[in-house]
A and B are shown apart, each in its own frame.
Chain A
């Protein structure tokens, strides 16, 4: 093959690749807009929403509990190791709690929920797709976005701040155990230092992040469910994509959200 032919082929391949990606993005945007539209159209399916919240809470609360208590504990311990040399270990409380409130609780909860619930959304909707259950809904005149996507997206949006709140409280408990019971910092000192440095805005920042992450996890999970093609294999692929993109999105958006919230809060 001539160099020219080779180059042409390469350029065509790159072009096609870009087009597929752009097309996919358009598809995703379209899906996002549709779900948004159907969120505000009656009938409002409150029961489905609560079912989803219950399901999500049930699926992740135990893992959140374990993750948070150990995160709080190990973080407190690491800070202690770093700071005892300069005798500033009374700062353990505020450092750990602020980090939990602003970053660790929403981000780690987001990763857990993306792994547990984002995956479940894609798997449930994907298998409904390949077994024609979604067609069955449509044939009965029910909008499948409204019935399947909206409750999951809103459910994730509302569950995430709750789970993140639990993460913060339990994580604080973990750090308190290490700080007060193991390292033996005076209990009064430990808590008063926290109130010196922390404010409600920090907690609010974390909760806002958690809500945004919940929305994104919901959109990404349901999108990959609706776009499953082929049989069981397709469902597996969709589930995998939902987890991977859910986690990446949480981490990337966290960066931008942090700089944005720093400006307005």
Chain B
């Protein structure tokens, strides 16, 4: 068993002639919170899509939980994705389903749980992310941005994933709600830490990142500029990172 839950080996991605990811070689530590930091267009989301197998590498390979993603058949890949929970930038809740049904969705699709078991599990998930029972029957359009993120998190957690991915989970939220969401991500992480749970967060928010992460990967123009634990990251001499830190 590797110390990494995700590993990139010589990963290069081109869209046409544009090199979006340029020969990446690094691992994301199992059981830790790692934040991928970088300017807009650095390739962060593209990197995350490689982990999920939504995008195929141009060169190199991605290894997740000791499995080479590229070696899976389409069906195996779909099955494999149950290892992941993903919270999208704008939550991406299904707009035709209530909060309850959104969280119940993966349970209905992938487990043989009975209706009362589903109900109990969903309500406890919603409670754990701080959604009141009366909001369970509301549609996403009737929720605030922060509440949607929470429901999104509950849905991501429904199948007890091994790796949780967050794409800019706090964009569009006020500073207070931002910290609430971060606290929630950390609590979720701590609760599941014992089973090697890995959290990968994409972010622009340098302050929250320094406060909540174990490791930081700094990307620029498709390359990893720095990959360090937080203490060493703060001391980095790299001029780009210094500029980012002084924001």
Interface residues of chain A, those whose CB is within 8 Å of chain B, are: 124, 127-128, 131-133, 135-136, 138-143
Q: CA separation between A142 and B93, bound complex, in Å?
A: 15
Which of A124, A131, A138 has a CB less than 8 Å from the CB of B90? A131
Q: Is B9 an interface residue (CB 8 A)?
A: no
When the two chains form their complex, are residues A140 and B92 in contact, meaning their CB atoms are under 8 A apart?
no
* Minimum CB–CB distance for B87 against chain A, Å: 10
User: B110 contacts A141, CB within 8 Å?
Assistant: yes
A132-B90, A141-B109 are known contacts; what are 19 more A-B pairs with Cβ within 8 Å? A124-B96, A127-B95, A128-B94, A132-B88, A132-B92, A133-B93, A133-B94, A136-B88, A136-B92, A136-B93, A139-B84, A140-B81, A140-B105, A140-B106, A141-B78, A141-B79, A141-B82, A142-B78, A143-B78
Scan B63-100; emit 1 where CB is below 8 A from any A CB, else 0: 00000000000000111111010101110111110000
CB-CB under 8 A from A141, the residues of chain B are 77-82, 109-110
Q: What are 8 residue pairs bridging A and B, where the CB atoms are less than 8 Å apart in the complex?
A: A131-B92, A132-B90, A132-B92, A133-B94, A136-B92, A136-B93, A141-B77, A143-B78
Q: Does B11 contact A (CB under 8 A)?
A: no
Measured CB to CB, the closest approach of chain A to B168, in angstroms, equals 11
CA–CA, A141 and B106, complex, Å: 9
Are B89 and A132 in touch, CB under 8 angstroms? yes
Asked if residues B88 and A142 are in contact (CB atoms below 8 Å), the reply is: no
CB neighbours of A139 from chain B (8 A): 52, 54, 81, 84, 86
* Distance (whole angstroms) from the CB of B82 to the closest CB of chain A: 6
Q: Is the CB of B109 within 8 A of A140?
A: yes
A226 and B78 CA atoms in complex are apart in Å by 20
Cα of A136 to Cα of B84 in the assembled complex, Å: 11
Q: Would you give the shortest CB distance from B102 to chain A, in whole angstroms?
A: 9
Most B CB contacts (10 A, CB to CB) among A133, A142, A143 go to A133
| 0/1 string, B43-67, CB within 8 A of A gives 1 | 0000000001010000000000000
A133 neighbours in B (Cβ, 8 Å): 92-95
A142 CA to B54 CA, complexed, in Å: 12
Give the A-binding residues of B (Cβ under 8 A): 52, 54, 77-82, 84, 86, 88-90, 92-96, 105-106, 109-110
Contacts of A136 in B (CB 8 A): 86, 88, 92-94
A132 neighbours in B (Cβ, 8 Å) = 88-90, 92
The interface residues of chain A, by DSSP majority, are classed as helix
Chain B residues in 8 Å Cβ range of A143: 78
CB-CB nearest in chain A for B165:
A139
Q: Which of B80, B92, B105 has the most CB atoms of chain A within a 10 A radius of its CB?
A: B92
CA distance in complex: A135, B88 (Å) = 9
Closest residue to A130 on the B side, CB-wise? B90
For B89, list chain A residues within 8 Å (CB): 132
Distance of A53 Cα from B54 Cα, bound (Å): 31
Q: How far is the CB of A234 from chain B (nearest CB, A)?
A: 15
Task: Note all chain A residues with C-beta closer than 8 A to B110.
Answer: 140-141
Q: Nearest Cβ in chain B — how far from A45, in angstroms?
A: 11
- Which residues in A have their C-beta under 8 angstroms from that of B80? 141
6 shortest interchain CB distances as A-B pairs: A141-B78, A132-B92, A136-B92, A141-B81, A132-B88, A139-B86
Residues of B within 8 A of A128 (CB): 94-95
Nearest-neighbor residue (CB-CB) of A51 within chain B: B96
A135 touches B54 (CB 8 A): yes
A124 to B82, CA, bound (A): 26
CA A38 to CA B80, docked complex, whole Å = 20
Distance of A18 from chain B, by nearest CB (Å): 20
CA of A139 to CA of B165, assembled, Å:
11
Contacts of B96 in A (CB 8 A): 124
Min CB gap B219→A, angstroms:
20
Nearest chain B residue, comparing its CB with the CB of A138: B54
Contact in complex: B95, A142 (CB < 8 Å): no
Task: For residue A263, give the distance in angstroms from its CB to the closest CB of chain B.
Answer: 41
Which residues of chain A are within 8 angstroms of B79 by Cβ–Cβ distance? Answer: 141
User: Chain B residue with minimal CB distance to A140?
Assistant: B106
Residue of B nearest to A139 (CB): B86
List the B side residues contacting A135 at CB < 8 Å. Answer: 54, 88, 92
| A-side contacts of B106, CB under 8 Å | 140
Shortest C-beta distance, A191 to chain B (Å), equals 46
